[in-house]
Amino acid sequence: MLVAGDEDITQQLGAHKENKRSNTLLVMNYVLNALHSSRKVNIRSIYYQNVNAFKKQSNVEEILQRISHVLGIRRESLNVRASHKGLFLSSALSIQLCNGNVLNGSDSVANFIPTMEDIHQVDVSQVAFVLVVEKETVFSTLREIRFTCSSVHGPTILLTGKGYPDFATRDILSHLAKILPASIPFIALVDSDPHGLHIFFTYKFGSDRQSEQHRSSRCSRLMLLGLRCEEFDFLSIPPDQSLRLSDKDNSICSKMEQTLDLRQYSSRDDPCEGISLDNLRNEIKIMKSHNIKWEIEALYNASSSHIADTFYGKCLERYIDNKMSMYFDQQAVLRIGEGYESLLIAPEKTLNGISHLDTMNIGNENEDILLVSDCDEDELLLG
Instruction: Kindly list the catalytic residues.
Output: 48
Residues whose CB is less than 8 angstroms from the CB of residue 255 and which lie 6 or more positions away in sequence, other chains included: 198, 208
Strands, E, within the chain: which ranges? 41-42, 80-81, 87-89, 93-97, 102-104, 111-112, 119-124, 129-133, 156-160, 186-189, 222-226, 242-243, 293-294, 356-359, 370-372
> Angle at Cα 257 formed by Cα 256 and Cα 259, nearest 5°?
65
Q: Taking the CA atoms of 326, 327, 332 and 335 in sequence, report the sign of the dihedral they define.
A: positive
Of the candidates 27, 150, 118, 154, the residue with the CA atom closest to the CA atom of residue 80: 27
Other CB atoms within 10 A of residue 252 CB:
19
Cα–Cα dist 298/237, whole Å: 7
Question: Please, what is the end-to-end C-alpha distance for the chain in angstroms?
Answer: 40
Number of H helices, E strands in the chain: 14, 15
DSSP 50: T
Q: Is the peptide bond before 131 cis (omega within 30 degrees of 0)?
A: no
Cα–Cα dist 294/196, whole Å: 10
Q: What does residue 304 show for φ and ψ, rounded to 5 degrees?
A: -65, 140
